[in-house]
Amino acid sequence: MTTLIVIAKECLPGKVKTRLHPPLSLEQAAELAAASLDDTLDAVAALPATRRVLAFDGATAPDAAASYEIVPQVAGGLDERLGAIFDGCNEPAVLIGMDTPQVSAAVLAPLFAAWPDDVDAWFGPAADGGFWALGLRHPDGDLIRGVPMSRSDTGMHQLARLRAAGLRVCLLPTLTDVDHIEDAHQVAALAPHGRFAATLAGFGALQLSEALR
């Protein structure tokens, strides 16, 4: 019995993926973010979660999240928001973000089966030093609150916090978050058949190649 949580924000121009501008326009960056979220929701659709939660920052959730319980994010820093999300769970819970559309159900499948007796937490490192997934057998927001977020050492601090609490942690594969245009190209190459890759390709090779010079 595992709860699936996807944390996301409404994909509005100027509110998401602003580091993709330039070379993308703010409207294109928002469109790419929406594709990333849709691919993420598609990837986890077949997982046997007992509860599905979209921890959402925004007014209008995507149609692909129709089967999810929509929970507004609380005010505060990301550590406070993540902590509150886990405090709202009373069974094993797995949180993933919307910025790794190359994620697959196969990677997450072990977290939605019987957890090994020697695993208290799952941790998915991100290539930029953060993390893309966090699973807790006994959800406790205090395991996250106070961890410095959005830094190149965030993942190191979060993993250290888990281990300092005596949790036995199983590591997931490292994935690339889409923060910059180079990341977008890398992720699209890893998942060439998704909406994300198609959306990126649709913006035009000439425009994007200028950003990589």
With 0-12 CB in 10 A as exposed, 13-18 as middle and 19+ as buried, what is 17? buried
pLDDT tens column, 123-161: 999 999 999 999 999 999 999 999 999 999 999 999 999
Question: What is the pLDDT averaged over residues 192-209?
Answer: 82
pLDDT tens column, 16-73: 999 999 999 999 999 999 999 999 999 999 999 999 999 999 999 999 999 999 999 9
Q: Are 190 and 102 in contact (CB under 8 A)?
A: yes
Ramachandran category for residue 163: left, alpha or beta (phi over 0 → left; psi -120 to 50 → alpha): alpha
pLDDT for 8 equals 98
- C-alpha–C-alpha distance, residues 112 and 122, integer Å: 11
Query: Which residues touch 113 (CB under 8 Å, ≥6 apart)?
Result: none
pLDDT for 206 equals 43
Percentage of residues in the chain having pLDDT higher than 70 = 96
pLDDT for 209 equals 47
pLDDT for 73 equals 97
pLDDT grade for 207, boundaries at 50, 70 and 90: low
User: Domain segments of the chain: what residues?
Assistant: 3-211
Cα distances (angstroms) measured from residue 30 to each of 60, 83, 138: 14, 26, 35
Class of domain 3-211: alpha beta
pLDDT for 204 equals 81
The yes-or-no verdict on residue 181 having pLDDT over 80 is: yes
Q: What is the mean pLDDT of the chain?
A: 95
Question: What is the pLDDT averaged over residues 115-120?
Answer: 98
